[in-house]
Copies of this chain bind each other. A is one copy, B any other.
Amino acid sequence: MQKEDCLLDRCFLCKHSLPAWKSLIELKKTTFSFKKGKKIFQEGEPVKGIFFIYEGSVKVTMNWGEQKELILRFAKAGDVLGHRGFGGDPFYPISATALEDCKVCFIDNSFLEASLIANPALSNQLMQVFAQELQKAEKRMRDLVHMEVKGRIVLALFEIIDAFGTDENGYISLQISRQDIASYAGTTYETVFKFFTELTGKGILSTSGKSIKINDPKALQSFIKY
């Protein structure tokens, strides 16, 4: 975790602030680097401010008991992190872990609050973020409850591709473990594994190490049943 410079145009806060504020923001914000696997913040920690991802990807998780976790969402460059610290309770209800080496910039709570009051456009922009995430969260809630496991795993794959895209050979740009896919789909490692073997056997999916490639999206779709 070390300080670095942060580019203005990749930072949510700067992008949606008045030009006059930008130099002030630049003074106030701190940029950190996190190695893959490191925790950016953790469930139960006091909320000190808000993060904006400048580079890399992150998983946002919530724990159940000691060993089980649910991945709530994936976040990537340009996304906001830690804004759940808002409403009420000043402790993070969630954890954020780097999935790749990351650079994030951090803004202190008091400065953020001042910015929000001074800058209604920023405030509205952040509200949009909340609104969209709320919609996504509720849709996902329904999916997790009513869909069967295979459909949930397929959805997980589609959403990961949606967020991170694929490389020139069609492989998902993010190296993601089966355990993480399971945690996102709300199932176990073994179930994901068996389903993947089924899919690769049918030629719908290809894997090479931790890289995953979807060959036949239509066939995948068919596992989503209403």
Contact = CB atoms under 8 A, between A and B. Distances in A.
Q: How large is the interface on A (under 10, 10 to 19, 20 to 34, 35 or more residues)?
A: 35 or more
Contact of A128 (B87, B137, B147): B87
Interface stretch (A6-14, A61-69, A98-106): A61-69
A219 interface: no
A72 interface: yes
Interface string A61-83: 01011001010100000000001
A141 B141 contact: yes
Given A62-B138, A62-B139, A137-B138, 19 more contacts: A65-B226, A68-B146, A70-B141, A72-B141, A83-B131, A84-B138, A86-B128, A86-B132, A87-B132, A87-B135, A88-B132, A93-B135, A116-B127, A117-B120, A120-B123, A126-B127, A134-B137, A137-B137, A137-B141
8 contacts: A62-B142, A70-B146, A86-B127, A87-B134, A117-B124, A126-B127, A137-B141, A144-B144
